Structure 1
Amino acid sequence: MGISREIGAHYVQEKGTTFTVWAPEAEQVNVVIHGKLKQTIPLQREAFGYWVGLSEEATPGTRYSFKLDNDKELPDPASQSQPDGVHKASEVINPNYNWTDQNWKNLPLEEYIVYELHVGTFSEEGTFEGIVNKLPELKELGITAIELMPIAQFPGNRNWGYDGVYPFATQNSYGGPEGLKKLVDACHKTGIAVVLDVVYNHLGPEGNYTSSFGPYFTEKYNTPWGAALNFDDAHSDHVRNFFIQNALMWLRDFHVDALRLDAVHAILDTGAKHFIQELQEHVNHLEQQQTQTYYLIAESDLNDVRLINPIEQGGYGLAAQWMDDYHHAIHTMATGETDGYYSDFGKPEHLVKTLKHSFIYNGMYSEYRKRTIGTDATANPAKQFVVCSQNHDQVGNRMLGERLTKLVSFEMLKPVTALVILSPYTPMLFMGEEYGEENPFQFFVSHTDEALVEAVRKGRKEEFAAFAWQGEAPDPQSEETFNNSRLQHNYKNNEKQNQLREFYKELIQLRKATLKNTSKEHLEAALNEGETVLDFTHTSAGLRCIVNFSKEAQSIATDQKGWKVILDSADEKWGGPSSTYTSENTILQPESVVVLQATA
């Protein structure tokens, strides 16, 4: 499985702190202990350019930095805490925590109902503690797993998290490592699993000192973020080890249940064993050691089943991957948008195909990309695909960050979510969608380098060139942009929002009760003659879902005998105009969904 080497600062009670850093080109490395101790300790060089030393006096809370060849002091690339931000000294943390989740076992993947959230904007506090306070609401909604957008230390205190520069350090403004452990422990006590979004395809620009230590990057490839991380060039074993140790830390030391691997198509590796496969093998080994189950979930735009196929079949063995095709098929049908990458979608038959076969682009030519993409995923279990109608990318990478609430009618929100929650796939909600949050989710940063801020502003404008969006992009650096993106959580004082949330609750309960072992093999899907109504049935569960995308009422010609209506989004209790659908009168209200259960 390649090199496995612990890195960073590790404190052991009554023994002190061992410091390990990889700096293969350095002639001399010292660790500088700050504060009252004011020590400078020379480290000993070991094989492959690792430098190691012990300070018996350094304890949790001690600040330290590394000095290479008597040059300037730098934070630890594997720092687990940056209490004063990305440019200042690192901190030794206490590895011990009084965990209360000894009886916790990760949920089966098919029981995951994921809720993606951004720590800084989800709660009033904008911290891990703020999430803890809202866990009872998420539990009551029916959520079984939360997914945290990246929490690795980034510059300032406003960021989506994808500009992180210390992958091992938990963002100080969110509550640091202690706050994250408290959140995970509380989630497990509530019966909720924790998925953490990690970024192994690039590091952010500000506060990134890794290149001073060694060849963390390679010029072999160009990426949207500059030089690529070095996963397959000279010295790459140790860069791979850096990120593998990171993943193992979150799972082992923070009790995280699953990792969402950001944009794995940008992890560039032409070696014989791809980094992703090696990572999965290490996680398999950790599972055996810990007698616990962990999931790796990829984000990829390649529609490639190699990610999730078993290793013995030539795959990488991951548990699941996000599936954009499903989102795009729903979004284009609900909104009518066909700009940018949405130009590849918008046909009603796409929904039938993606329900039955997962990927729409499964070896098809993409007009938008001007090439053939994808592989056939028909044989892969439905639980391996995470689907949504909104997520941080699809909302936040719109110019104005509008949620579906602003793009479609209140009535349309209900069939859209039924397509996600009652699909055979692993459903994911984006924070606030369950009650129709009206605040946008916009892109925000808090860099201190003005040239970098300007580059970010320029880059955002260029991203929107392929879309026909009107207006001016919000300033990512402005605190107002961040504040505009915070959830209002006003559903208790808003009848419509509360009705929508109750509708979500009903669908989630329905899924839990009837769709425990969903599969594509036992799913039938068809369109009516006008291609405005989608009718799909989980045959083994006896559950049928009929969706009217049209703004007109639609009559259904199919045989309705043997079915009873158990939910109609047009019902007044869900804020609808009134239900008109019965087994005798098969009229669907505009923009509605009817769910039926087999009576025989």
Structure 2
Amino acid sequence: MEIGGRFEDGCQFTVWAPLAEQVAVDIVGHQQESISVPTGLLEMKNDEYGYWRTHAPNLPAGTLYKYRLNDEASWPDPASRYQPQGVHGPSEVIDHAQFEWGDRDWKGVGLPEYVIYELHVGTFTPEGTFESVIPRLPELVELGITAIEIMPVAQFPGDRNWGYDGVFPFAVQNSYGGPTALKKLVDACHQIGLAVILDVVYNHFGPEGNYTGQFGPYTTDRYRTPWGSAINFDDAYSDGVRRYFLENAISWLRDYHIDSLRLDAVHAIYDFGAKHFLQELSESVADFAEARSFPAFLIAESDLNDPRLIRPVQQGGYQLCAQWSDDFHHALHARLTGETIGYYSDFSSLESLAIALKNRFVYAGQYSSFRRRIHGSPASDLPSYQFVVCNQNHDQVGNRMMGDRLSTLVSFPALKLAAGVTLLSPYIPLLFMGEEYGETNPFLYFVDHSDPDLIEAVRKGRTEEFAAFHEQGAPPDPVSEETYKRSKLNWLSRKDKTAGNRAQQRIMRKFYQRLIEVRHQCRVMTPTRSSDIVVAHTGDTLQYKQSMASGDLLCLMNFSDRATKVGLTLGSQTWWQQLNSADPQWCLEEANELTKAEPLPARLSEESGQTLLLSPFSIALYRAEPVSSWSLSRTSL
């Protein structure tokens, strides 16, 4: 049974309000003024579990309604499918069967084949809508992307927001185009070969327009999150709350044909019951996926470095499909930028990146100086495709005071090196929108609240968060529409800027395209264990070998601004160059003497010598035929 208004021989209304003594559907009109519907109250009957129901056989889709509680005030449906007038307005009845899908032949994309492109609908295009994304999809396919990840679209206050202030988890943001427009986007993705990942938030509600407390104990003060009260997954009446979020996940997969869900900050989902909510969610989604023609994956974002999220239930895990490894980003970012503030202080050495490439997490039971405690648990036995990595994403860019992208923090060669390390890693790579051509516009924090007190609280909080950075100026006003506009991708930058910048962005995009092509040709995405990877680092150079049935890979990296020698032990194999970021085709003509390309041999063997001279901030990939074993000249991790 489904929560909320739906069609089944008419409109079936269901709402969970376990503490209410009286509930009625308050019909307030129709979304189209030309359509007349009988307004007034429809009485509801409850069951022993606190669910109130009524059936209205003659109400059309588009009917606007609220729920009247205890014959007092009326509130929007907490399981509303659409809020056409925003978070404070009435809910709209949606008939999902009215949409004609064209993706009947869609079989999905396997998790190991994911190359993810994260985008924010509001800033991805000038229009900031679902339908305006569709014309850009062929360019992403040409790039080599196999899945887009859409930042949260559950209804939030106003017209602009990152999406993590959502208060109606079932409703699709009205300013983006609503339910039908989202379906059109997903349908278009599937017809062009792209999977769709949707970011969902099950750890808190936003601060404005959250009326769930009028209906029942959806939150609890037993635990606190960085955003306030926690979702009630294990306190009194939690059965109804758990069911609400389980149904929400299935709704996205069923009604919108979403391929995968990215679960936001699961470390802030508190549940000390016998069966954790995440395990129940995993089981529910697995059962649903068995009945459709393409898979459904759950990908967790977590700050805990806890492999229990993805371990089988038999091993005490929750059996999610994959999780993010932020350690990879932190180690790569700290090395390229030299930043040591905050959590970057734990990742100051190149050894951190070497460990991340081999062992999934850098901190897997080691002491963290930043956290002042032991952090994480080993995950090296788990396959590589269960970890998602990036060199930038919405959090790592947007939570900087000025929203700086990596393209504004490091040199062009270093930017290519970052791309290479990410896309040639054994993990699932994630690109943040615009990264592929070196977008320089910031991605800032922005909101569109209507409560003056809340607006001031957000401004004050943002200022206090960056108090240590005031010598760099004040953070941009998160409420200003200009802050939002500054965060939009500048798709015309490759045409409108200086000739040098145009050339750099053109080269960068082609380089990304080549990296993804090499990733597939060399089957870098082949599932591997930590034992399949040997890593070594000396000074500013890092190399790793990956053993695969399709042919071994040797990746060489130089993190210095000077050309640096790297020692090799090649064994009896012959290695063929697949890519070198310092090749002239990937460099600007005006490159100075320090960054000019250093030719590397197309073929390596025992007779080639034991050293190579790597260009500054460069990465090179070689491939060999399979052999039984090989070793590195440096100490392996």
| Structure 1 residue 599, shift from structure 2 partner | 6.6
Counterpart secondary structure, 2:291: helix
Deviation sequence 1:123-178 (CA, Å, 0-9, x none): 12211111111000000000000000000000011000000000000001111010
Q: 1:467 and 1:282, CA in 2 relative to 1: closer, same or farther beyond 3 A?
A: farther
Q: How does 1:200-279 map to 2 (within 5 A)?
A: 200-279=202-281
Number of the residue aligned with 2:119: 117
How far apart are the structure 1 equivalents of 2:39 and 2:419?
58
Counterpart secondary structure, 1:537: strand
Match of 2:19 among 21, 25, 47: 25
How far apart are the structure 1 equivalents of 2:57 and 2:181?
27
How far apart are the structure 1 equivalents of 2:469 and 2:116?
29
Q: 1:297 and 1:502, CA in 2 relative to 1: closer, same or farther beyond 3 A?
A: same
Q: How does 1:69-80 map to 2 (within 5 A)?
A: 69-80=70-81
Number of the residue aligned with 2:526: 517
Letter in 2 for 1:513: Q
Number of the residue aligned with 2:507: 499
| Structure 1 residue 255, shift from structure 2 partner | 0.5
Letter in 2 for 1:26: A
| Structure 1 residue 538, shift from structure 2 partner | 1.8
153-162 vs 124-133, which moves further: 124-133
Match of 1:575 among 559, 576, 587: 587
Please say if 1:562 is aligned against 2:558: no
| Structure 1 residue 468, shift from structure 2 partner | 8.7
Match of 2:411 among 403, 409, 424: 409
Q: Is the 8 A contact 1:231 1:240 kept in 2?
A: yes
Q: Is the 8 A contact 2:18 2:49 kept in 1?
A: yes
RMSD: 1.5
| Structure 1 residue 349, shift from structure 2 partner | 0.9
Q: How does 1:444-455 map to 2 (within 5 A)?
A: 444-455=446-457
Number of residue pairs aligned between Structure 1 and Structure 2: 592
Q: Is the 8 A contact 2:75 2:211 kept in 1?
A: yes
How far apart are the structure 2 equivalents of 1:566 and 1:310?
37
Number of the residue aligned with 1:586: 612
Match of 1:6 among 2, 8, 18: 2
Deviation sequence 1:183-202 (CA, Å, 0-9, x none): 11110101100000000000
How far apart are the structure 1 equivalents of 2:471 and 2:315?
44
| Structure 1 residue 491, shift from structure 2 partner | 5.9
Letter in 1 for 2:43: P
| Structure 1 residue 500, shift from structure 2 partner | 0.4
Letter in 2 for 1:81: Y
How far apart are the structure 2 equivalents of 1:441 and 1:89?
32
Q: Is the 8 A contact 1:33 1:65 kept in 2?
A: yes
Alignment TM-score, normalising by the size of structure 1:
0.96
| Structure 1 residue 506, shift from structure 2 partner | 0.3
Number of the residue aligned with 2:65: 64
Match of 2:318 among 307, 311, 316: 316
Please say if 1:84 is aligned against 2:85: yes
How far apart are the structure 2 equivalents of 1:264 and 1:466?
29
| Structure 1 residue 472, shift from structure 2 partner | 1.5
Counterpart secondary structure, 1:76: coil
Counterpart secondary structure, 1:126: coil
Q: Is the 8 A contact 1:152 1:166 kept in 2?
A: yes
Q: How does 1:128-527 map to 2 (within 5 A)?
A: 128-465=130-467, 470-490=472-492, 492-493=494-495, 494-515=502-523, 516-519=525-528, 520-527=530-537
Counterpart secondary structure, 2:11: strand
Counterpart secondary structure, 2:141: helix
Structure 1 segments unaligned to the other structure (5+ residues): none
| Structure 1 residue 580, shift from structure 2 partner | 2.6
Q: 1:285 and 1:42, CA in 2 relative to 1: closer, same or farther beyond 3 A?
A: same
How far apart are the structure 2 equivalents of 1:292 and 1:310?
21
| Structure 1 residue 559, shift from structure 2 partner | 4.3
Counterpart secondary structure, 2:472: coil
Deviation sequence 1:435-473 (CA, Å, 0-9, x none): 000000000000001111111122223333577982221
Letter in 2 for 1:564: W
| Structure 1 residue 581, shift from structure 2 partner | 2.4
How far apart are the structure 2 equivalents of 1:421 and 1:437?
18
How far apart are the structure 1 equivalents of 2:301 and 2:405?
21
| Structure 1 residue 490, shift from structure 2 partner | 3.3
Letter in 2 for 1:24: P
Number of the residue aligned with 2:32: none
Letter in 1 for 2:585: K
Q: Is the 8 A contact 2:106 2:294 kept in 1?
A: no
| Structure 1 residue 291, shift from structure 2 partner | 4.7
Counterpart secondary structure, 1:289: coil
Q: Is the 8 A contact 1:340 1:466 kept in 2?
A: no
Number of the residue aligned with 2:48: 47
Deviation sequence 1:30-70 (CA, Å, 0-9, x none): 10112232131011111211110111222111101110011
Number of the residue aligned with 1:536: 544
Counterpart secondary structure, 2:24: strand
Letter in 2 for 1:119: V
How far apart are the structure 2 equivalents of 1:378 and 1:578?
36
How far apart are the structure 2 equivalents of 1:142 and 1:134?
13
Letter in 1 for 2:575: W
How far apart are the structure 2 equivalents of 1:179 and 1:19?
24
Letter in 2 for 1:490: L
Number of the residue aligned with 2:94: 93
| Structure 1 residue 579, shift from structure 2 partner | 3.4
How far apart are the structure 1 equivalents of 2:243 and 2:267?
19
Q: Is the 8 A contact 2:118 2:149 kept in 1?
A: yes
Letter in 2 for 1:512: H
Letter in 2 for 1:405: S
How far apart are the structure 2 equivalents of 1:240 and 1:88?
26
Q: Is the 8 A contact 1:339 1:468 kept in 2?
A: no
How far apart are the structure 1 equivalents of 2:351 and 2:306?
21
| Structure 1 residue 522, shift from structure 2 partner | 2.0
How far apart are the structure 2 equivalents of 1:508 and 1:180?
27
Letter in 2 for 1:522: D
| Structure 1 residue 217, shift from structure 2 partner | 1.1
Counterpart secondary structure, 2:81: coil
How far apart are the structure 2 equivalents of 1:484 and 1:492?
17
